[in-house]
Amino acid sequence: MGKLKKIWKRLNEGWTGTLFYLFLGIFLAFSLNQLLAYAITNTDLPLIAFYAVYSESMKHDNEQITFYQWLENKYGYSKQYIQTWPFIKGLDVGDIAIIQKSKDYEIGDIIVFKVEGQSYPIIHRIVAKNEDGSFQTKGDNNLAQLPYELKVKKEQIYGKVIFIIPKLGYLRVGLAKLIGV
């Protein structure tokens, strides 16, 4: 029993204690996230999930051309209408998007959805509803829509962004780039 107390003491002190609790916290957060996902929603994301933004597709570096002008030319949306949408300034790499499942999705919502053949989900904005009930999406910073964005079915959608925590996801993005995911 004395040996266990020494190990426990070593795990709780100094830099080893800090690392131990850091990894324990990450493990518990990931485990709780997955447990909620499967237990509550029967999907691979829970009712509320955290998603780190990896690409610049939602960034607003050139918003006049890639965002406002594109939407006006393609759909006739006015700037005043577009500015009523949630998260009008988009998302930056490293932001944490908190998403929630919804029964209804609207034009302007930023959603996270899966695309067959891709190992990671996409986070883009709904720009139109199709007659069959599916959606069209586009990254705010993209010059055009990608083929898989023309018909996003509700079943593909994990949820919509309800809150953003700026820059908190840089660690996750860095780790993903480091291990090549």
Confidence label for 61 from pLDDT (cuts 50, 70 and 90): confident
pLDDT, residue 25, reads 67
Name which residue leads in pLDDT, 6 or 65: 65
Quote the tokens at residue 38.
């499967």
Share of the chain above pLDDT 90, in %: 47
pLDDT at residue 14 tops 90: no
Reported confidence tier of residue 119, pLDDT bands at 50, 70, 90: confident
Provide Rg for the chain, Cα atoms.
20
Using one digit for the tens of pLDDT, what is the confidence trace for 155-170?
A: 999 999 998 888 777 6
Averaged over 125-136, what is the pLDDT? 98
Query: What gap in Å lies between CA 22 and CA 81, rounded to an integer?
Result: 44
pTM to 2 decimal places: 0.72
Strand partners, 96: 52, 165
Rounded CA separation 156/112 (Å): 9
Residue 105 in tokens: 């999705």
CA-to-CA dists, residue 41 to 16, 34, 37, 47, 159, angstroms: 37, 10, 6, 7, 12
Residues of 111-147 as b/e, b for ≥16 C-beta within 10 angstroms? bbbbeeeeeebbbbbbbbeeeeeebbbbbbbbeebee
Alpha helices in the chain (DSSP H): 2-12, 14-36, 63, 70-75, 79-82, 170-179
Check pLDDT > 70 for residue 45: no
Confidence band (pLDDT; 50, 70, 90) for 40?
Answer: very low
Confidence of residue 86 (pLDDT cuts 50, 70, 90): very high
Q: In what order do the strands lie in the sheet with 122-129?
A: 48-52, 96-100, 157-165, 110-113, 122-129, 135-138
Q: How far apart are CA 56 and CA 142, in angstroms?
A: 9
Q: What is the pLDDT of residue 56?
A: 86
- Residue 41 pLDDT level (bands cut at 50, 70, 90): very low
The dihedral sign for the CA sequence 37, 38, 42, 43: positive
Short-list 112, 120, 119, 136, CA closest to 48: 112
179 vs 69, residue with greater confidence: 69
Whether the CB-CB separation of 83 and 145 falls below 8 Å is answered with no
